[in-house]
Amino acid sequence: MSRVKVVDSGELSLGQKDQELWLQVDIAGMEEEERALFLKRKEAIDLYVANEKSHEEIHSLIGINRREINRLYTRCISFDPNGIPWGYRGLIPNKKIKKYELNPLSKKINDSRKTGEFSLLLEKYPKIRDEIENLFLGRKKLSEPVMRPKYIHKKFVEMCKEVGISRSEYPFNTNHLGYRALCRFLTQLRNKHFGTASRRYGRDAEQKAKNAGIGKQNYPSTLTPYQDVEFDGHRIDGIFVITVKTLEGDDAVLTLDRLWFLSFIDRATHSVIGRPHICLNKEYNASDVMIAAKKAVMPVKKMNLTIPGLTYQPPGGYPSERFPEIEWAVWDVVYFDNAQAHLADLVRERFRNLIGCTTCLGAVGKPMRRPHIERFHQTLTSSSVQRMPNTTGSHPNDPRRENPEEMAIQYRITYEHLEEILDVAVSNYNGTPHGAIFYNSPLEILEQRINKGMIPRLLNESKRSEFLFTQIEKNRTIRGSHQSGKRPYIEYMGVEYRNDLLAQSAHLINTKVTIHINVDDLRTIRVFLPDGSEFGEVVATGKWSLTPHNLQMRKAINLLKNKKLIHFTQWEDPIFVYHEYLLSQKKKKKATANQIAKVQKVLRKRDEEINKNVALAKAHEDINALEQARERQEKTQSTSKTPTVNRRFKTITL
């Protein structure tokens, strides 16, 4: 007897033909009769596909005829709604694999039942279907943003009347005018358009539905430290103050506008990379992003804490502090959102050319694609700032929010205190066990990965300069004139830059050069000639070269000067003049307080540099004094060693 031949005209895919790829069925939950029938069908299909027995032999062995075998095999190779062959699932007894469609021409139609009438109506009138979908999914801008099913049903009945459906036809010949069928259709819409339908339950639900649970994020495969990192800024939930000396010599306490907290976190180990940056601006900018990146890459040392009782936990710390072998470690991919500061040319250029990483931009207001940094910010604020009396809470009605400005002034909770508290909190966070990493701490996971040889990429030694992180490039022309007697100079942001070499290089007048500017410190700029050779550093003229100041501060001072609100000569320090102007403002606004805090930070940096230079000068003096004393001692010993011995013996004999 001839064997069965499974006919394949070349239209079947590999998933349809190969039984090994068919989805299996768990028969443990079936009733005994259903299980027996399923196993009979499966055995018959296996013999049929194997081409080992004829239809008659299969029928005699199992009891399933040719027609039934062909029907079952057709069910197995047909596709489900997801485009996957039904496989053995098509053999489950009483399983519907095809959607019911009403055939109005069939003689078997039952006039008392209305099954399929609703679907047939929507097929006949696609305008009604589109209107229902638009109303339910919120595709039309209506006065009612989320329309309930009973109001959609009212619109459905009105449209049925508009298209001319008679009173004797569906849905008017039913008790509820097709309401139940409409609700079932809306449920199908909700399941089919999960992300869009979630909008009916709020913006948060829509964001999670559209951006979580799908894609690469569900299959975490990052194991190597610093391979992928996330960055974001968080508005600190607290009010802080600064103490200033007024022009009259009195102490004044000013409240600051809410500050920003910028940080990087490693996806593989959940460790916070480097000391985070606290931004005093109303909105953080590209310079703040690069300062945060600089702090994340440069080695970290513990701060000198001034708050009594505040200490670092021994298990905590920062990666570069605990593991010297990964000092100056950099990352391969950084995940941003589309905030304006992240799209700046400075950020993209520095990350690409200096750090050598790829930037992956996500959408604003969709934190699901950066879960680690968002979760870290929640943990940090809930364990530190939100526990303080000056907290603003997580929302306006938070019971923890109780006159935060008054509390900040009363307890003198300053910006310097915030720096110390957050530094300790982040350090301790890195040493705290996390449930997401099986109750290991981020530093413990990092140590294990390092011991396995997963050493992150280190920044090239030629690029290990603070200047390079906040550097931008501009084209300028060297100016000067023999007629007016003005020596060569370079102008940038309203300030002239010179050095002795440039002053003696009159041949470079009108030469176009490239200047490298550190936007975090504009006291000096570096000049490169048209052929690419470095000319050297030029210094801002006058008092602009004394106090460190950034690009934003320079712009603010120039704006006030242009408006005739402040005035200073070449021999006055513009930063001090700016500081006095801010103090003289009668209306102590928060924005003014933030500007004062930034100027005070700059002045502290200047004092630190002066103290450092004094200490270095004293150290050089001590070293020179020791070297001179050593030289005198060696000279004395070399010239008087032998005569001293003879004189001693002569004295003894006499």
DSSP string of 236-248?
Answer: -SB--EEEEE-TT
d(CA 495, CA 516): 15
Query: 260-266 and 272-279: which strand pairing?
Result: antiparallel
Q: What is the per-residue pLDDT for 651?
A: 39
CATH topology of domain 222-460: Nucleotidyltransferase; domain 5 (3.30.420)
Question: Measured between alpha carbons, how far is 131 from 413 in angstroms, rounded to an integer?
Answer: 58
The one-letter code for the residue type at 649 is: F
Confidence of residue 449 (pLDDT cuts 50, 70, 90): very high
> What does the pLDDT read at residue 272?
96
pLDDT for the residue numbered 409: 85
> Using an 8 Å Cβ cutoff, are 407 and 255 in contact?
no
- E strands, 509-596, in order: 512-518, 524-528, 534-540
Measured in degrees and rounded to the nearest 5, phi and psi for residue 242 equal: -130, 150
Question: For residue 527, is pLDDT > 90?
Answer: yes
pLDDT (0 to 100) of residue 654: 35
pLDDT tens for 413-436 read 888 899 999 999 999 999 999 988
How many other β-carbons are positioned within 10 Å of the β-carbon of residue 344?
17
Orientation of helix 415-430 relative to helix 371-383, angle to 10° = 120
Q: What is the mean pLDDT of the chain?
A: 82
Task: Answer whether residue 205 shows pLDDT above 80.
Answer: no
Range 139-144 average pLDDT: 66
pLDDT at 652: 39
pLDDT in tens, 453-501: 999 999 999 888 888 888 888 999 999 998 888 999 999 998 999 999 9
- Ramachandran sector of residue 270 (left: φ over 0; alpha: ψ -120 to 50; beta: rest): left
Record the tokens describing residue 410, joined without a space: 């009363």
> Per-residue b/e over 421-457, b at no fewer than 16 CB within 10 Å?
bbbbbbbbbbbeebeeeeebbbbbbbbebbeeebebb
Would the pLDDT of 644 be above 50? no
Measured CA to CA, the distance from residue 118 to residue 55 in angstroms comes to: 42
Reading the block at residue 324, the tokens are: 């010297």
Alpha helical stretches, state H, 81-138:
117-124, 126-137
d(CA 425, CA 382): 11
Q: Please write the tens of the pLDDT for every residue from 531-570.
A: 888 899 999 988 888 888 888 788 888 878 887 777 777 6
What is the reported pLDDT for 7?
54
Alpha-carbon gap, residue 429 to 260, rounded angstroms: 19
Domain ranges of the chain: 14-91, 117-211, 222-460, 466-604
At residue 218, the pLDDT reads: 52
H/E element holding 490? strand 486-492
**Roughly how many angstroms between the first and final C-alpha of the chain, as a whole number?**
143
What is the mean pLDDT of the segment spanning 130-157?
A: 83
Backbone angles phi, psi at 199, to 5 degrees: -60, -25
d(CA 356, CA 354): 6
For the cut 80, the answer to whether the pLDDT of residue 649 exceeds it is: no
Tell me the three state secondary structure of residue 275: strand
